[in-house]
Amino acid sequence: MTLQILAVFFPAFVLVALGYALRRWQIIPDGQWRGINLLNYRVLLPCVLFVTIARADLMQAGALPVLALSAGGIALALVLSLGMARLLKASARETAALVAVCCVWNVVLFFTLADRLQGEASLQWTGTIATPSLVLATIIIVMAFAGTRAGGMRKALPALATDPVLIACLLAVAAALVWPLLPPLLSAETVETLLSPLDLAGYGSLALVLICMGAGLDFAALKGRIRLLFTAAAIRSLAIPLGVLAGAGALGIDGNAQTLLVLALGGPSAAFVYAVATEFDGETGLTAGMITLTVLISAIALPVLTALTLLS
């Protein structure tokens, strides 16, 4: 069991470390990461989301509790982060960073680990789990950061309307719902051929996104505001997956779906939260520190939590 878990997690976290090393030693200089991150966020991530969600059977048996728990995990993150921010007397800008980091989990790491753990079988649930979480989380983080600056809400709606992740998710949901009606017009083979460039671009590039995740780690940002940093990491990497595990038990979700829900919602925060924080002039330093800490704690907590689901 230990070896199986290590085999799943080791390559992904080595690539994260590789990304950190490439940036730390300037093998890929700072200025050149901008293009790589832009390609990731605007193209590769939407590609992988589109093909995964478009192929998901959102109407399959047992999908409703999985969809509900995926959305419930984000609701839990929102409630916990707002509650803790109030308890810690965090400023509005600090609260926005805490909410964003707690609500957004790293979808690419999830797809990579799900594939390594369950192979093709993981595709039965990955799209179903990703859809509600990502749509909700994207709306929450944009509203959270936009709400902290004057005129931010005016900027929030156009930002949401042009958000590549949100657009990809919504288009893919539409495609997933239309998919069963297509065979009379287009054969399954034709649709697969049409999706194949997005498949190659998206799934082939999972490693690149992990490398970028590592390149974005900022250990200098871990200094100061320790309570907020650890609160974010504790909510993101411990409280939410444990809550999801309990929720899965209550809703009767088990097997692959249960493991994948924990793997998804217990993952570290996504690097694109930092990009949104920058766009809305948010607490970028604090956000970078929180993301870094969630990655470090997830590297230990996520394999343990995954092992727990496999044992149960």
Partner 1 sequence: MSPVVAALVPVFGVIALGWVLRRSGLVAAPLWGGINRLSYQALMPAFLFITISRADYEAVPAGSFMLAAAAGFLVMGAIMLGFRLIPMPGPLYTSLFQGGVRWNGFVLLALAPAAFGEEGAALAALAFAPTVPLVNVMCVGIMTIWGTSEHTPNLRRVGLRIITNPIILGCLAGLAANLAGAFQSGPVADTLDLAGRASLPLILLTIGAGLDFTSLRARPGIISLSVTAKLIIAPAVFYALGILLGVEGVALAVLVGIGATPGAAAAYVLAREMGGDAEMMAGHVTATTLLAAVTLPIWIAIAAL
Binding residues (CB under 8 A) for partner 1: these are 6-7, 10-12, 14-15, 18, 22, 27-29, 31-36, 38-39, 42-44, 112, 116, 189, 193, 196-208, 210-211
Nearer to partner 1, 31 or 151 (CB): 31
Min dist CB 4 to partner 1, Å, is 12
CB 176 within 8 A of CB 56: yes
Min dist CB 15 to partner 1, Å, is 6
Min dist CB 171 to partner 1, Å, is 16
Min dist CB 157 to partner 1, Å, is 21
Nearer to partner 1, 1 or 61 (CB): 1
Q: Rounded CA gap, 175 and 181, in Å?
A: 10
Nearer to partner 1, 36 or 242 (CB): 36
Nearer to partner 1, 35 or 151 (CB): 35
Min dist CB 210 to partner 1, Å, is 8
Nearer to partner 1, 13 or 136 (CB): 13
